[in-house]
Amino acid sequence: MKRLSILGSTGSIGRNTLAVVARFPERFTVVALAAKSNLRLLCEQIALFKPELAVVHNQHLAGELRKMLSESSRTRVLCGTEGYCEAASLQSVDMVVTAVVGAAGVVPTLAAIDAGKDVALANKETLVVAGEIVMQNAAARNVRILPVDSEHSAIFQCLAGSRPEDLSKILLTASGGPFLNRPKEEFAGITPESALRHPNWQMGPKITVDSATLMNKGLEVIEAKWLFGVTLAQIEVVVHPQSIVHSMVAFRDGSVMAQMGVPDMKGAIAYALSFPARLPLAQPVPDFTNGMALTFQKPDLEKFPCLSLAFRAGESGGTLPAVMNAANEVAVQAFLNGRVAFTRIPQVIRAVMEMHTVIDKPDLTALLEADRWARAAAEERIDAL
């Protein structure tokens, strides 16, 4: 029986994780659930899975949640970063699923690693912001970081049984998002509603907008660098609109391995939770006999400059990836709130990156300060626009 703490339980990954847990009650149990503010859904999850601990964003929400829970509930309620870190480091937990949105995942993930917990990582920003520190700490504590992103899970599966020195290149696939074939001249009229209509995947609003700008793929490039110990020059982004090939790995003898499946996150989640076993999910296999075409193309960096910005940040290293990520989070939220146009997202990110003086080899304090600075700088830039 594997005992889980799920950080971000009311989001898309969190809900899918609990769906897997519910299908295999003999294999998994939930010890802790953490969410931000969706109290109604969190209450339902607590009633169903009866965790030892539940965590929400702040004291007010914690008070409201306590009122909503039944008198018979034995679930403790905590809040804030301290609560998240406790959920991540409980002695009774075997694995922490980090599925929160944004840089908020960094500190709880490090707490899980420091407590010796294996991490199923769905929060790519953790490695974007603090990849070197996270991977060094994981190695020192002999902790496994198991990828939940479909692309990184695919790479992980393709590399199984291979020698690191045989890896030549990672081919990181991208759907291209909802605006792959829309002319650049029409981007100014893109609305949040249209950006949230992803053609293949059901995801949360932030990651869906990131997919529309291709920033999601840029974040995944940096994540792949740290997860698999490669250089950015060894990572190539390939647009694959059908989302059947989740990613590929090229080896030095010229052979290429691909991992394929329907676009459903439960497969990658289940593999991280059960590794090295595979669970009988009864997922449908793509029908390759019905005339399905699998196509691939290069990303258009002129239409989608966020991808170039991410490569630039990854190549620079230091505090720049944290700054880029923070500026993106603020700009995406401003777009969703109707404060800036879709085309302003990369402009805000670029402006904040150019304002920043990069610190090489930063510690966690410096990274968190860079994150805080970048958020304030992005807000000022948005106000000026």
DSSP state at residue 290: S
pTM for the model stands at 0.93
Residue 167's identity, in one-letter code, is L
- Residues, the chain: 385
pLDDT of residue 126: 95
Residue 372's identity, in one-letter code, is R
pLDDT of residue 93: 98
DSSP state at residue 232: G
Residue 25's identity, in one-letter code, is P
pLDDT of residue 345: 97
CA–CA gap between residue 198 and residue 104 (Å, rounded): 24
Question: Measured at the alpha carbon of residue 151, what is the angle toward residues 275 and 299, in degrees to the nearest 5?
Answer: 170
Choose among 35, 51, 272: nearest CA to 152. 272
How many C-beta atoms lie closer than 10 Å to residue 128's C-beta? 28
**Cβ–Cβ < 8 Å for 180, 298:** no
CA–CA gap between residue 137 and residue 116 (Å, rounded): 10
- The DSSP result for 49-107, as a single string, is H--SEEEESSHHHHHHHHHHS-TT---EEEEHHHHHHHHHH-TT-SEEEE--SGGGGHH
Q: Half-sphere exposure of residue 256, counting CA atoms within 13 Å on the CB side? A: 9
* Helix (DSSP H) and strand (DSSP E) numbers for the chain: 15, 11
266 contacts: CB under 8 Å, gap ≥ 6: 16, 19, 20, 281, 283
pLDDT of residue 198: 81
CA–CA gap between residue 57 and residue 151 (Å, rounded): 29
CA–CA gap between residue 8 and residue 220 (Å, rounded): 19
Choose among 82, 89, 102: nearest CA to 5. 89
Question: Measured at the alpha carbon of residue 204, what is the angle toward residues 355 and 296, in degrees to the nearest 5?
Answer: 80
CA–CA gap between residue 122 and residue 99 (Å, rounded): 5
Residue numbers in the chain where pLDDT is lower than 70? none
pLDDT of residue 135: 97
Each residue's pLDDT tens digit, 254-299: 999 999 999 999 999 999 999 999 999 989 999 898 888 999 999 9
**Cβ–Cβ < 8 Å for 158, 258:** yes
pLDDT of residue 162: 94
Choose among 68, 67, 49, 71: nearest CA to 5. 49
- Which domains does the chain possess? 2-147 (3.40.50.720), 150-263+285-300 (no CATH), 317-385 (1.10.1740.10)
